[in-house]
Structure 1
């Protein structure tokens, strides 16, 4: 089965977790785009959506789905998003689309986080996909030096500015055997806004195509 077909199946399968009357947290990326298309078919049965990126907001609005402010909605029942990597413990690397900070905020407030991926995203150990880190621009070099101390190879994603006005450093060369500890360590460094490790708060459900693992 092609990756595109698995993405479509995962996006469509995630609809079964959306309850009538829900405010739906919506992530970002190519697999989520299939979910939004499917969500449009039940837009009259939901209250609206909280979006993690300008890209998803535009697609949701195109289908007439109301965009709600997370500060006004309170906790969400469901958050649907993709991932760049997923390990057997449902811990993730996210941020290839540079929306990691808003994604992490929405995931934190959701009772259930459903991650939708194709099988190419499944790994035994996180780190083959470079780990994105969103940084305050003035801290780029500082954080780069700290990453080198920890054995990583930092690469500035030149020309990319996040929806929050910050920069992205992609860390190559890490084999992340303890993602919870690494996430905790990096979160202490001043200048880091968000680390693209979703390990302290992993996914609750992972769909590979239409199959829950």
Structure 2
């Protein structure tokens, strides 16, 4: 089974959890796009929901699918967010942000009663960190912010390259107007400690560690979709 087929199966499983009247957070990325299309099909069949997209790309696709949309200003409390992940560990801690939308994704997930992650089995890891950790930063004072992030890594015994996404000449710019530094750490033994230390750095807007947000994950592999819950 191809990866895209697995993503589609996981997304369709998550759509089955959506019921009429729900206020939804709608994620960003290739797997989330399968969810948007499957959700759109159910909306056209009569399902009544309203959604908050986590990126302009998701907004455009949801509008094309005919899904009614709102904002967190208008609808500040959501029932469910469905989103993908770049890595998932056994505690359902995540690395997200490969698509550069993790700031809005985290705001939306935190405003939701539940978060369901959809992914293919290649995203499951024992220890987070092989996928580069996105760190969203303010362009002003970038040099000082990089030094401060490097000190955080050293204090926690971590090492690895910190690379500007898109390069210095043409940096990737998020929907919020920020840059992303991708931390190639290899392994993150204590995600909670790193998460707390990074948000304390002036100039860091947000990072791609999602801890304590996901309630469950639908993970698709060669043998079908299985439900994953946090392992203590």
| TM-score, L = length of structure 1 | 0.96
Partner of 1:205: 216
Q: Determine if the alignment matches structure 1 residue 192 to structure 2 residue 204.
A: yes
Count matched residues.
212
Partner of 1:148: 150
Higher Cα radius of gyration = 2
Change (3 A) 1:139 1:93: farther
Instruction: Give the Cα separation in 2 of the matches to 1:86 and 1:139.
Output: 32
Q: Which has the higher helix share?
A: 1
Deviations 1:168-200 (A, max 9, x none): 00001242111111101100001111110001x
Q: Which shows bigger deviation, 64-73 or 106-115?
A: 64-73
Partner of 1:5: 5
Partner of 1:26: 26
Structure 1: gaps of 5 or more residues: none
Partner of 1:123: 125
Q: Is the 8 A contact 2:136 2:181 kept in 1?
A: yes
Shift of 1:153: 1.8
Instruction: Give the Cα separation in 1 of the matches to 2:51 and 2:134.
Output: 25
Instruction: Give the Cα separation in 1 of the matches to 2:20 and 2:69.
Output: 17
Shift of 1:144: 1.7
Partner of 1:40: 40
Matches within 5 A, 1:44-193: 44-149=46-151, 150=153, 151-158=159-166, 159-193=171-205
SS where residue 138 of structure 1 aligns? coil
Partner of 2:156: none
